[in-house]
Structure 1
Amino acid sequence: MPNFDFLTQPALPRPDVTPDDAAAIAAKNFGLAGRISELGSNQDRNFRIDTGDARYVLKLANPVFSADELRAQNAALRALAGSGIRIPEVIATTGGDELIEVEVRGTALFARVLRYLDGDPLTDVGRPSREQLRTLGALAGRVAAGLSPLRHPGLDRTTQWDARVSGEVVDLLLDHVAQPAKRTVVREATDAALARLRPLRDRLRVQAVHGDVTDDNIVLGHGGPGVIDFGDVSDGWLVAELAATVTSALHHVPDEPLAVLDVIEAFHAESPLDDADLAALWPLVVLRGAVLVVSGEQQVALEADNVYAAENRAHEWVAFDVARRLDAAELETLIRARLAPAPAQPSTGFGRLVALTTGPEHLADLSVMARDLDAGVWLSDDAEDRILARVCREHGHAVTRYTEARLTRARPDRSLPSATVALAVTLDAPTGVDVTAPFAGELALVEGSWLLRGDAVDLWLDGLTRPLTTATVDAGETIGTAIRLTAQLSTLAGHRPPALVTPTLPLSAWTTVSPDPSALFGIDLAVGAPDPEASLARRDATFAHVQEHYFAHPPLIERGWRHHLVDTRAQSYIDMVNNVTQIGHGHPRLVDAVRDQWARLNTNSRFHYDELSRFTERLAEIAPEGLDTVFLVNSGSEAVDLALRLAQIHTGRRTILAVTEAYHGWTIGSDAVSSSLGDNPRALETRPDWVKLVAAPNSLRGRHRGPDSAAAYLADLDADLAELDAAGTAVAGYIAEPVFGNAGGLMLPDGYLAGVYERVRARGGVCIADEVQVGYGRLGHYFWGSEQQGVVPDVITIAKAMGNGQPLGAVITRRDIAASFAAEGSFFSSAGGSPVSSVVGLTVLDVMRDEGLQQNAAEVGDHLAARLRELGKRHPLVGAVHGMGLYLGMELVLDRETLQPATEEAARVCDRMLAEGCIVQPTGDDKNVLKIKPPLCITRESADRFADALDLVLATL
């Protein structure tokens, strides 16, 4: 029988063997009897036999495996005997054989027995200690060293775990990954790893390997750690042995992946790695993770009852996901740094690289705070050149900064971290400059860059011009000239670290590998790493804690552009929650208009200036017919508060009808009509006596459900009104959002609002539409939410979007209602309607018109809603998708029948979306609805990136 080749026979369901079958085989062939229990396996059948005196493992191999392959496994056990590693002992049959063929229901199977190795699997320890990680690495290294002399015909086999065929295995099994988002990620990561591995393949050493020295197969017992399960023994790459071990450790330390350096260092001490191994290791870790993912899905597809394979899928995905998110070049560098001999301390007394006198004015600011990068300049390919050129024009030469997180290297719509942190610095000297050696050493041209090798540190140079290719130079010797010179120090002899790295790993890991080059230029070039946690502590020290912030560990956001936010590490995020920023962050027209107006005048609306009347005219023009009079205030809360007072003054009554589940603001008045339990758990029991709550017409989870539920809710309202009539309580007004923003954009049942308005007006009440969240073009197909319901309110409240972040709100009503306020004197808002606020409001409306943002909300919103509803077909957690235009909500539930809210899952989704470069937050009474309300300038591409990220998060939650 030939040895197994997985590529020709990729489907390996376990043989059909019951515990009774196993008991009979053990008794007849090995003379063993006792309590039988099955052990987990992907492709074989393994049973533990407890005789009372000892324990054994009966192994029944998959019928595709030859006798030679099984004998090779036993040979591997013998090769490691006496190595100091606890390994299973081979138990012979009653006839003295190590292997016997048996028949189970017509299928011939090879059976073996090994002595059971006592101990707890390392996988059960939770988060392993450094010592346990080192134990894992050391065992893998000792196994690799012990197997290196082994030769056996049964080792010439091709298993799915042979790293040499990882790409082919992924190709064969990828379709078993049911979720397309996961398939895409596995495909992309596999292709990238294979490309990095390709030039190294012929240099990697082949020997006998265990293939699975992982946390599952290491047991910790009184006799020391032991290694079990030699079923994957074959010829393979030595470094792949370590890759398998590292991959198994990753899922234990996902938030501290550099902990696996302990595993690698311990392996290297037992089985030294060479240069090719070090370059290949991380791509092989990614490939091992990819194979684990696709194999686990295939095995579960083959055997739905394979609990072992099914339960492993979660941590196998974690290991793969952590590995593929880390940059392979960065990990290679840090691995080399850990394994390199302890270097001599590099001197800080280097000589100068150039003779130029450099001061603070010569430093080029490429950070997130740089004014030169406003208005989206940071996205230009030549942004760095433009800044360097400006500094040079003004000061003669320019130098970039060390460890600066460069905004110029941030990438929008990212799925992985951007490499933004600079370890190399650049000098721009348009008139040219002589370059001198800062220390003595050998200067050579290496792959297009100059390398000056010193005793304790290397200096890499780009842009140096010199006639000779190699030389031994003295400190201070002129070695060439440069116009633009890039310099980077490295403590790794002959190896250049990446010039820019991601902020994923601690900065301290890099400053040792690529030290500060400030001494070379005679000025401090180092930029301190931003500390979001320290900044959060400062906030909490003086800012009232009840003023919440997004995320437990929020990024430190210091820049916005259009529908993107950027943190101080120059990592971009798609902003999916900012309905405040209607036309986008940092809009140049708005910036210029505000700057100009501040330079001219800013005061209060008791003074007379044209911007005020121009703005209120525009608002009256876009308001529904009949609403012709405007009040300007500072916020939505104030707008709602004023609207309630207008209703009460105009009618001479106090009682306001408000719907449950709603949020209207934080002032005394607007809070009184707010009943959202998500914002105030005591809301229903603390409303004042002048507020009458009526049932929210929640067609998804309310007392009446479905799109035709308006009549039932109106019948409930009739009962409420009849009760008020009977008590002699007259209604002053009714307030509701025309789309339930706080529920994530839940649309009201058709006809509901028209019925309510008819009933309220019949009693002389005023109808208030709170459009603060959902109006002002956000619905795309309608400018006002009330239009969607086919009604015209008596009063509209707006804010948020109209100011694009500037405190600005408004109440738009009829002249007669507005005039009623005179009964309580005049109205005045210090900043409401100020010249700056008026200019902001006008500019927002101009930009919305000129850039077609309402139409964009309709088009991109419809596309995004369709994408989200498609996700709902594949992800059971999605209970419903609400909304219209760019006010959408995805309701997450644990059960689509009971609609049990998935509150914890929603929070986890938001946290994981942050890692995907997207900011989204939960809303609703149960905080289980993802609110999706980005700036109206969001592009279709960014909407797709958000949907793709959400698809992946839901698939891997």
Structure 2
Amino acid sequence: MDQPASILSSPPPAFTLAQIGDIAKRVYGLSGRLSPLDSERDQNVKLVETDGTAWILKIANALEQPDRLEFQCAMLQHLATVDPSLPVPHIRRSLDGRLLAQVEGTDGVRHFVRLVGYLPGEPFAQAVKTPQLLGSLGDLLGRMDAALQSFGHPGAFCDLDWDIRQAGRSRSRLHHIDDAADRELVESFLNRFDEKVAARLQRLRASVIHNDPNDYNLLVDAPGAAITGIIDFGDAMHSALIGELAIACAYAILDSDAPLTAAGQIVAAYHRHLPLQEAEIDLLYDLIAMRLVTSVTISASRRERAKDNAYLSISEGPAWTLLRQLGAMNPVLATGILRRACGFEAVVGAKKTVQWIKNNHSKFAAIFDRHPALSEKGLVPLGRKTDAIAIASADKRPDEAQAIWARMAAQHGVELGIGPWGEERSIYSSPAFVSLLDKRSRRTVHIGLDLFVAPDSVLHAPLDGIVKDIYVSEEPLDYGCAILLEHEPEPGLRFFSLWGHLASKTTKRLKLGARVAAGEVFAWIGDTHENGNWLPHLHLQLVTYEPASAAETIGVGESAYLDVWADLFPDPRYLAGLSDEVFDQTGREVEEIVTARRQQLLRNLSISYRQPLKIVRGDGVWLIDAQGRAYLDCYNNVAHLGHSHPEIIEVLARQAALLNTNTRYLHDTIIDYAERLTATLPAPLRVCGFVCTGSEANDLALRMAGAHTGKRDMVALDWAYHGHLSSLIEISPYKYKRKGGAGKPDHVWEAALPDSYRAPADWPVAEHGIRFAQSVRDRLAAMAAQGRKPAGFIAESMPSVGGQIVLPPGYLKEVYRDIRAAGGLVIADEVQVGFGRIGTHMWAFESQGVVPDIVTMGKPIGNGHPLAALVTTAEIADSFANGMEYFNTFGGNAVSCAIGLKVLEIIERDHLRQNALNIGNDLIARMQRLAERYPEIGDVRGSGLFLGLDLVEDRASKNPATERAGRIVQKARELGVLMGTDGPYDNVIKLRPAMIFSQANADHLMQVLETAFAEA
């Protein structure tokens, strides 16, 4: 299109058709029908042979440089060789074998001439720009430029204004633009080019490109579905590779309602054939605009000449329209669309930011006084038209809208209303939400997170930040007051958070550049009159690029670009402290599950709480229900190291992928685990038996005791529970004395529960152990009177179901001595209290200074994996080996043992026993202070993270307050803490949280207990 001024001022050749016919015959041996074609500086004639074969005879301007013409011929020849199917003109050699011939005009001036094949089709400019056609254009250019990667020629290097790298020269033509607004627009693009583009462009890939795939140099088939050809290689040159796409897009998206969508379709197809580099795509928006700038400034500079030359002015009007449209766009958003079209992140580092926030969400401070995870939440129905209009149209009737939402929240027990990210909403109907990217659509998709709370609610920073911008607007449906915070939690990771619809007093609290610490109060929620006339709420938005201001950060986007918004403005749910379950609820409803359980499961299965919980996920010390509410789990002691411990998950998956087989085959892990487990126990406890559950372990212990002693009688504590097998139901008063139980079997001797709190008042405290042990001696005496001897004594080292009992000092020493003297074995059931739970010792029996004959363990041993064990002495193990094989299909398998090893490693490495002791001592002290204010707390007992509160009607009588305990537990559940009751009267609140329980967790627990006792 453009050449040095000497060529532009030189008229094109003026051969007659007769002369051209003679040239065709003489130089190429062709004859046929001739018809002239338009051209700016050359003379082009179409020649159609009698058989219909068509050619274009091109007579070059007299001032055209030979090396440029030779370059174009060589380029076409190269393309025909590398990719013969490309729809480019194929050059025909002259009769004497030349690609470029010379002819002389009547004026004696010599001109170069060449003959190329004619390509059928209609101009791309006249076709409907369907996605299919745009993709075809990208395919063609990608294939062509890929073929040209191996081509070079001296004639490719030239100086043209149309070289995209020289787009800055347009500044010299600015004065030709009459309209001040248009001149300012062009100048703004030139400034961006000079400041942000030019230097980076020079560092990008360069190669030979067509350099002018405009809408009149592209041919389309009759249906307009595919590109049939690309012509006019007169401006081909060695330039920035990305310039090819920039030029093609600039013309192909003229008159497009959604120009960036159209450009993305071209770019995506190109990228499939010749992958683009991210640095190239990052400049594409600017380069498209700069091609238009070059075009309109050149047109303006040739205005007089263009009046009589439609070829020069045909695109000027549409170019201005597109340039204005591009000028109204945010370059970051535009570039994000183009990057996503190629499968790249809309902005570099977006996914890294999202992943970091997700991985670290548990470390963030709560943004409200009450952590959103702990609140009862509900989705505000802004996506449904009828409800949305009623709730969101606060600009028309704010009081009514607030009242409607209040009624809805109360009806469903909602504390925190949620307006999700990515929700399509009908409420964005004002002119403020027109699309700058697509004339056919509106911005209707919410790309922030709305949190509906009471006006004047305080906001805490979830992590450290710097105040990047403070924005205040009184425009209806705007942000009202908004704060933009900058975060850089680690080197190389930087993102921003936008907090909108705030109270105006926030601006008095903050200054630009101020540092805000994690957990610090930095803002307040605005009321309707100051928040843009919305229902009071927080609009929270993540931004992964550096926005110029809060005002430029759109909170609503077009649905067509949702994938782009997901990178630029990711869902901030994790930053806000919300879980996925709040937004994505799957499976059956609670009522449906309850009904199905009655029909399809054993009726004996109980359900906790009056309002059953559907728990869908565990995370450390938290259990999360189907609606995303988090409950502090102070009850389920199976997850000893916390729910879903990542190291346990990893070792489970790794070992399961390698080997999982039974004990009939040899594997190292079972020996490694046996050695490691027995090392935690005193001698002579050195022989292990591995099973799957605590019940199996206790059943095996009974069998061993019987085999070793030849006896069957067992002494057990009142209200004990040792498992669900028939053999264990028989020795568990908790089962056989309650509804459905068959009563105490003849071979079971029930000793008194050593509950010091309910010991007779006349017993000296120092003698509680001896006095309670007398009950065991009495049973042994009664047994002996019948000529019977015990097989053994079994007891939890700290009875749990019995009411979180801490055995009185010396109790087990007395009992163990007496049982052994009578010929029996002593079994320590550590299923509930082992593995460091009591804090002072690894095993609870150690706190009594005794060594049992058999230790059983389960529950915490595998952190939720079905693993249990028995450890005994070599002598007892030998007596059990009577010829009958003992085999447990799953007990001791490689996966279970690998998990068991990891549990022991974590307990020791992370000093969890010490943590249990420290946190437990703190809780006991604070519960004792609580008891000073609430006389119904008769006793605070426990050790480490094995704790109980014994509730009574009055401290004098110590009558159990069963209903009161139930109300406290139920109220705690409502407040987000899970605990249970136990003991013979179900009046003891028991607490057995995970060993990773932190001081913050303890503070939260005590806060809830304070509230529960005050309100229950």
Taking structure 1 as the reference length, the TM-score comes to: 0.50
Which has the greater radius of gyration?
A: 2
